[in-house]
Amino acid sequence: GEDHRGHGKTAGSLDKTGWISPRNGWHLMVEDNLQLSKKLKSEYPALPYYIYSHSMGSFIARALIGEYPIKAEKVILSGNGDFKDTDITMVKIIGNITKIFKSGKAPAKLLDKLFFSALNDNFEPGRTGLEWLSRDEAKVDEYIADPYCGFIASAQFYLDFAEGMSYLHSKNCFEKPPKDIPLLFYSGELDPVGGETIKVTQVYNQYLQHGFKNTELIINKGGHHENLNEINRDEVYKKMVDWLEK
């Protein structure tokens, strides 16, 4: 696995979390995963190459298979969803205004409130404000206790992410990958990133409409966003492994 740029210890220090690059941040994150895939294939040539991706990583994985012929045998896209074109445009406007009056490295507090904090709206009133992550309170508490989690991302980060979402709405995202690549969308029933099944189902249907014949969707009943940190994670793991092995 890997930390994305601006995340975890890859960021370098806590004060650098949420910052990717002055430009082309999205493309750099996708390329990081390309290099990781080449490294893994080189070091383990006899093993099958699967991709497990979650949340922002699942958006990066979609871009990765859309841009590069990586020849993954199967891809799991956990915690995926979609954003409206109007939302993407709003992110670009607010992000650029923040850059003009502050800087690209400035914490994008308004965007964080509009998009990240709002993910818990359907779980209020809640104990922590992060109930959207998981039904397992211990896992939510672990997230809160981790200093590398819960940071406010930079204005440039949001601009980079918006650029990535624009790509995922383009024809190129669907035209380049082999249409027989097995894809599994795995989403919690109450995951706000997946629009409580609505958004993730829309994305799943887009792949079907573009001819991806080996695409499946599994909804984790009652589940929130962090599928592998849910109260029924043993069941989640089993379903994913069963799908990989079939």
Q: What is the pLDDT along the chain (246 residues), one digit of tens a residue?
A: 788 999 998 898 999 999 999 999 999 999 999 999 999 999 999 999 999 999 999 999 999 999 998 889 999 999 999 999 999 999 999 999 999 999 999 999 999 999 999 999 999 999 999 999 999 999 999 999 999 999 999 999 999 999 999 999 999 999 999 999 999 999 999 999 999 999 999 999 999 999 999 999 999 999 999 999 999 999 999 999 999 999
Q: What is the pLDDT of residue 82?
A: 97
Look at the pTM and tell me if it is higher than 0.85: yes
DSSP H or E run through 52: strand 50-54
Neighbouring CB atoms inside 10 A of 213's CB total 10
CA-to-CA dists, residue 170 to 62, 176, 243, 244, angstroms: 12, 11, 28, 28
Q: What is the pLDDT of residue 229?
A: 99
Q: Six-digit token pair at 207?
A: 């792949």
3-state secondary structure of 192: coil
The region that residue 196 occupies, defined by phi over 0 for left and psi between -120 and 50 for alpha, beta otherwise, is left
| 239, burial (CB in 10 Å: exposed 0-12, middle 13-18, buried 19+) | middle
Q: What is the pLDDT of residue 163?
A: 97
Q: Is 3.30.70.1060 the CATH number for 8-245?
A: no
Domain boundaries along the sequence of the chain? 8-245
Whether 225 contacts 55, CB under 8 Å? yes
Q: What is the pLDDT of residue 9?
A: 86
